Structures are given as structure tokens and as C-alpha cells.
Structure 1
Amino acid sequence: MEISIEKIKPSSPTPHHLRIYNISLLDQMIPCIYVPLVLYFYGADNNDDRIQHLKESLSQTLATFYPFAGVIRDVLSADCSDQGLPFYVAKVKSQMKDFLQNPNFQFINKFFPHEYNIEKQPCPGDSIMLIQLNCFDCGGIAMSIMFAHSIAGMASVSTFLRCWAANARGLGFSQASPLLCAAQSSFPQNPSFPNKFMPFLNYHKYLSRGKFVIRRYVFDASALSFLKAQLSSSAASRVNVVTALVWKCFMEAVAEETSGEDEKPFLMTQAINLRKRAAPPFSEDSYGNMVWVPKIVCNSPQEKGLTDLVWEVKRGISNIDESETVVMGNVVTLLDSRDRGIEALAIFDQKYVAGFEKNDLIRNYARVNPSII
């Protein structure tokens, strides 16, 4: 791929008193890693004009979201002296529809400014956010974003993207205005906080070694409605139901792979947004990692039905104030789909995938990596 790079700076200078951004106590508990994200846009007649417009609206947006134009200062702060956000443009010699019709998750790594590696930690002087536009021959664009997790959470990046989109459409900041100090004022950082209470700081020791694969499962809205009716779980959310289903199928796949060994309890964690759960609630535009990670334990996985697990998940989320923070090796991310269904993007140990996908619950209610378009 042909790649060019420039740094996009805020359209107006960041005031001197805002040039050091201190993270909150909740941010301290988050691993300092780069989080990857890819967005896809349909083709246009003139990508050069569109790219220039994106750069200009990004510059305007960075005037408000100034930490994203800065660099890591140390483990507790960012230097927001308008160093500029690295902005890459790459030419991809293929059609975007060919990729979307048969998504290849191994190829996605090529969309990022540098190959994504969970073991790569941002160091002092490294950019807080990097963006790359991958321009296909058809005019379509895959926009990849990498951001330092200890400086911003996914909710904050979503607010940033909404604001950027509003600026690109000429709508200004009416749709999104970040509250950059909300987490800092409510959860001030503690430099002397004991590391033993912050396992994410040493997250490397929790990483599983082996052959892991990325799998995508799509649960259509109709399938979820039917499943909830079968379970008499109308009070449970779609997320509760899909989480319990994936957990059950994974536990059964592990049990099959480890047949003959002593049964061990299973532990699941789920990141919960604290903004709406606080009293009084925080604004959805509050910046930072305002999340908690409750644990849910299943001591006898073979004896638990799907309905039991749905309520275990629901109860675990409601009891976040009594939870401890833990880390797991196998990860599933749930995303809303257009039809009110749910997509589950899973990173599983390869040896469990076959057993997981032959489970009747997966076969009956999910589609494995269907076309995105």
C-alpha cells in the first residue's frame, strides 16, 4: 500500500493551563494499551476532496478534544501541547465490497498505522490517538483508529466521533460536548495507590499464550426475540441473553476439550458503564474510563441452564458495588447491529472454537461471519 502521513493539529491552540491532562483513579485501573477500531464508508466520486474535508473537520474537533492531539507524558498524565494527531492515508489496490462480503480479520491489521499488538504499550512521547484512512479503488474508505486506553475509553471515543461527524456536516458542537474533567473531579488520581489493587497495570501476566482466532457471530433481532420468548426472559436485556448464551457455549466447549479433568469453576467479567448507574448519573459525554468490571462465577457449569445463566449475568451486573476487578484471557465484544440484533466479536483459544460453533444454541441463533453488506 502507498502511505502518506501528516500531523493534524487543533484549529485553535490549547490554553496553557490545560496542557497537562491528569487521568482519574478509574483510568489508573485501565491497562495502558492501544485499542483498535475500524469504520467503513461507501465510495465517493472524489476522495481527495473528502479526505481534505475530514482533515479540516478533524482539526476543528481536536480544539475541543485536545488530549487526542497530545502524547503520553507518564503513567498518570498526557502532554496536550498540540503536538498533532498522526493522520495516515493509504491506497488499497482492491474493492471494499470484496472485503466486506467475506471479512478476513487477519487482513484488518494492515489497515492500522502499525500492526496491532496487545503487548505494545504506549510509552512517554507516543501519540494518544492515530488515524489511518485506507482508500480503496472503488472510492470506499476503511478508517482505522488506535487510541491509548488509559487516556480515553470507548464511550469517550464515541463522543469524539459524533462530534467529528457533526463538524463534518457543518452542525457544530450541538450534538456532543465533552466533559473532560468529570472523571478527574469525581475520582481524583492517587499516585500512591497500591499496585496490588490495580492488576491491569501488570496485565501482561494475565495474557494467555497459544493460538487464538477472531470469530464473528451475528444474532439477528428475530432470533433474539424468539430466544427470549423461549426462555421467558422478557425482563432480561438483549445483551444479558447473548452474553449468557456465548458464556454457556464456551463453557461447554471447554468442558468437551478438557474431558476427564477435574471440573473447575468459570469466571466471566463484563465492563459496565458507570455513567447511568451513578447517583446522580453522569452525563453520557463525560470523558474518561468511567467503567467498572464486575465478576460473575459459575461453580457448576454442567448444571446451569441458559435461563439460569441469564439471571446470573443480570444479577452480576446489578451488584457492581460488591465486585472485584479481574482479568480473563478469552474476550467477546458485543455490538449493536442495524436491525436491533447483536454482533459478537470473539477472540477464542483455537482449541475451543470447533466445540463452541457446533453447539446447537450457536447453530440455531447465530450466523457465523456473514457478509457485512
Structure 2
Amino acid sequence: MEIKVEIINRELIKPSSPTPHHLRCFDLCLLDQLQPKVFIPLVLFYSNNSTVNPSDLPHFKAADISHRLKTSLSETLSRFYPLAGRVKDNVSIECNDAGIDYLEARVNCSQSDILERPEQKMLYHFLPKEIVCPQPSTERLVLVQVTFFDCGGMAIGVCVSHMLADAATTCMFIDSWARAALATRASDIAVLLPEFSAASRIPPRIEFNIRSPSRRLGNGTTVTRRYVFHASNIAALKAKAASTKVPQPTRIEAVSSLIWKCAIIASRSNHRSLMPSMLTQMMNIREKLVPPFPKNAFGNLVCTFGAQTTESEIQLHNLVIELRKRKEAICEDYATKLYGDEAFSIVSEKFKQLGNLLASKDIHNIFFSSWCRNPLYDADFGWGKPTWVTVATMVLNNPIVLMDTRDGSGIEAWITLSEEDMALFEHDKELLEFASFNPSVLN
């Protein structure tokens, strides 16, 4: 079936109250300056949920839903005021309340057509076209597309500029928006407020000369597959990955290490060489620093670390040990030093080291981004929690995106590899022992 999406309305949503004059210039922090100029693209799918009281949302009328979404979005932008502004220069945002794009669309299929057998390329139908290219031309910092299905379900596509937001900030924005929508009929709903202190502790540099580690675009054809690791399989995988050095691997460590191992084996088989491999991952450092940032700190409070292996015989538990060691090392390095002028020195050095490794053609690189433990499945705008939340992968070299499953105990992985590597990867017996290939979201 050919999916056709019709845009039926486009509006500019502005903050419900003007940003005070003294807040009109928002400083980026040093870590914001390192981020690529791409959008973080999330899609939340909502079914026509019969458990919601029809008197609360009569017949799920599109006009009623859209009115609630736009009103609460406007209120949320007044709290997250930098997102409604425009980039001023390489160190600041002009918080001029210019607004964000809000699109409404209809699609010629049922939601079950998408959720029964999800494909990555389908997700782009539910996102504004402006963000699909590697270097988006739009000056907006947030774009939203609400798409209505024939069955009464809907999809909310949210795209936030990576210049201002990491995964935690994006999830906080969506959570605050959902709470604002619920608050229109329940006065006891607490709405989250962002905290804007990042630039005061990790100031930007006007003369910015740090080169962010380059994650090369894939050469040739890439293939994306979806795998789901259910809770019982993760428990078995953690037991298999355990060792005396890491007796209790985390869910993310166990799943990441298995995917990494299978990707290494596939790459080495195709290249017919024992090429070293490096896993690069982003990590939220809000609570890792001394003193810690609050959980609601706004911005890109993340660091990148790389774990390497040169083993000729790849052992799962050794990959877990290497991951844990590199995470702890980066936390130790950043914990007390990411402050003021010293932040620039340490970030420059770390990124230089990582950049040299990523630029090498003699190292197999794979990039992980984990969205797990972010409360996206709690985003209830007034008609129930989402049936499925997912992220459209960005056009980086070999990206692996990890998301929680709806029950919070499993992990969903979007895995992108070269066509040649994927042909071997998807038949790996150890992978298929613990992961299910693209199961229905509806089961």
C-alpha cells in the first residue's frame, strides 16, 4: 500500500505570554556548540483508545484534539522560551517569540497498517519534510506534525533542534507539553519547569575551534532493521554477559555489547580482516558532575565516549567490561573538571582523541544512542498513553538507536548497517537467540 499524507493546515505557534526582556538573549553552553545541526525526530502514536471517557474527549474529534494540542503547546513554549526563538550567532539564541511550525495532516491508512510491521522509512511520513535532509534549511528550532488516521488514531511527530536539546531535554519538553494539555481539565497536574544554568557553569566560546568528532555518512547503501529484546531475554543476556569484573551488567550494556559483537563479526567477515572496532556512545552527564546538574537542566548535557576492542576472538563479557571501563573513565575525567575555562581544555582534548579514531579508515565504527529510561510512554495529552514511541534514525554512519518498549522492561533497537554487513548480521544465531526481528507493536 502506498502511504499518502495530505497537509491540511500549517500554523505558527507562539508562546502564550511574551518572554521578559531580561531573558531575550539565551546563551548556549559549550556542549551545545558541539552538536550537529540536525533535528531530533520523535514520533508518538496514539490509538483511538476506548478506555478514555468519551465525555472527556467527545468522539475524538480532530478539531477538539488539535485545539487542545495547540493551546497547551503555546503555554509550554512560554516555559521553554528559547525553543520559540531563532539562532542569533554561534553562542546565543534570540528569544523573540517568533514561534514554531505546527502542521496538521491526514493519512490514507489505518494506524495498524504502520504498527503491524513497522519500517523506518514509514516514519518520515509523520514528520515535517523540512527536517529530513542532513542540513535542514528551516530556521525554526522546533517543528510539530500531528497526523490523523482513518481509524481515529493519530501520530504526533516532534522535531527539536540538536543545537538546543539532547534526548533528556526533548523528553522533558514533550512531558511538559502533555502535562499542560492534561491541566486544561485537571488543576492538580504539576507542569515541569526547565532549569537554565548550563551556560553559567560551562560557558560557550566566541572563538569556537573545537571540531566535533566526525561520524561519517555511510558510503554506499545502508539498511535499517528493527529488533526487540524482551525482558526475559534481556535477563538471560545479562547473565551471559556477566563476569567477575562486571557481575551485574545493565540492560543497555548487555544489549549494546551483543549488537556490537554481531556487527564486528559481520564487518570482519566482509572485509576478511581483524579490523579493530570502536563503539561510540552519548551519555547524559547531568548527575555525573560534581556538583550535579538537576534532572530538569535544559540543553545538551551529554558527553561522547568510545570503547574499543582489538580482540581476534570476540567475547561478550569482555565487550561489557570495556564499555563499563570507558564510561567510568569519562565520568571521572568530566566529574569535577567540566567547569569554566577548564571545560574547554578537557573537551578539546577528548574530542581531538576521539575524532582521530573516528576519522581512521582502519577502524570499524559503530554509533549508539540510547533513549531508554526517558518517560516518553507517560506522555498522556488527555486521551491515554501512547501505543508506540519511536525515533527516526539520523543519517550518521552505522547508527544504533535504543528505545524502551511500552512496558518499560524491554528494549527496541533500530540498527543501521551497510547492506553487506546487514546481510550477515541479521542471520547471526546469537543475536536471534535474544532478539525478535520486527514484531508487531500491537501484540
Cα separation, 2, equivalents of 1:50 and 1:76: 37
Query: How far is the alpha carbon of 1:24 from its aligned partner?
Result: 0.5
- Equivalent position SS for 1:63: helix
Please name the residue that 1:330 is paired with: 398
Please name the residue that 2:165 is paired with: 152
Kept in 2, the 8 Å contact 1:22–1:77? The answer is yes
TM-score (norm 1): 0.92
| Aligned: 1:255 with 2:271 | no
Amino acid at match of 1:23: L
* Structure 1 runs not aligned, ≥5 long: none
Cα separation, 2, equivalents of 1:161 and 1:128: 14
Change (3 A) 1:66 1:131: same
Q: CA RMSD in A?
A: 1.9
Cα separation, 2, equivalents of 1:237 and 1:154: 19
Please name the residue that 2:418 is paired with: 349
- Among 79, 82, 94, the alignment partner of 1:64 is 79
Cα separation, 2, equivalents of 1:220 and 1:99: 21
Cα separation, 1, equivalents of 2:208 and 2:296: 27
| Aligned: 1:178 with 2:178 | no
**Mapping for residues 134-145 of structure 1, pairs under 5 Å:** 134-145=147-158
Kept in 1, the 8 Å contact 2:90–2:206? The answer is no
- Equivalent position SS for 2:129: coil
- Among 262, 286, 289, the alignment partner of 2:300 is 289
**Mapping for residues 225-236 of structure 1, pairs under 5 Å:** 225-232=235-242, 234-236=247-249
Please name the residue that 2:117 is paired with: 102
- Equivalent position SS for 1:74: coil
| Aligned: 1:85 with 2:95 | no
Kept in 1, the 8 Å contact 2:284–2:301? The answer is yes
- Equivalent position SS for 1:249: helix
Cα separation, 1, equivalents of 2:45 and 2:110: 12
Please name the residue that 2:252 is paired with: 239
Please name the residue that 2:377 is paired with: none
Kept in 2, the 8 Å contact 1:214–1:347? The answer is yes
- Equivalent position SS for 2:32: helix
Cα separation, 2, equivalents of 1:190 and 1:230: 46
- Equivalent position SS for 2:112: helix
CA offset digits 1:58-90 (Å, max 9, x no partner): 111111011221222233322221111110000
| Count of residue pairs brought into register by the alignment | 362
Amino acid at match of 1:109: Y
| Aligned: 1:198 with 2:211 | yes
Kept in 2, the 8 Å contact 1:34–1:120? The answer is no
**Mapping for residues 1-150 of structure 1, pairs under 5 Å:** 1-3=5-7, 4-43=9-48, 45-114=60-129, 116-117=131-132, 119-121=134-136, 126-150=139-163
CA offset digits 1:8-61 (Å, max 9, x no partner): 111100112222222110111111212211111112631210111111111111
Amino acid at match of 1:230: K
Cα separation, 1, equivalents of 2:93 and 2:76: 18
Amino acid at match of 1:333: V
Kept in 1, the 8 Å contact 2:41–2:158? The answer is yes
* Structure 2 runs not aligned, ≥5 long: 49-58, 334-349, 359-364, 366-396
- Among 290, 303, 306, the alignment partner of 2:313 is 303
Structure 1 stretch displaced more, 170-179 or 268-277: 170-179
- Among 418, 423, 429, the alignment partner of 1:360 is 429
Please name the residue that 2:323 is paired with: 313
- Among 270, 286, 289, the alignment partner of 2:281 is 270
- Equivalent position SS for 1:21: strand
Query: How far is the alpha carbon of 1:101 from its aligned partner?
Result: 0.7
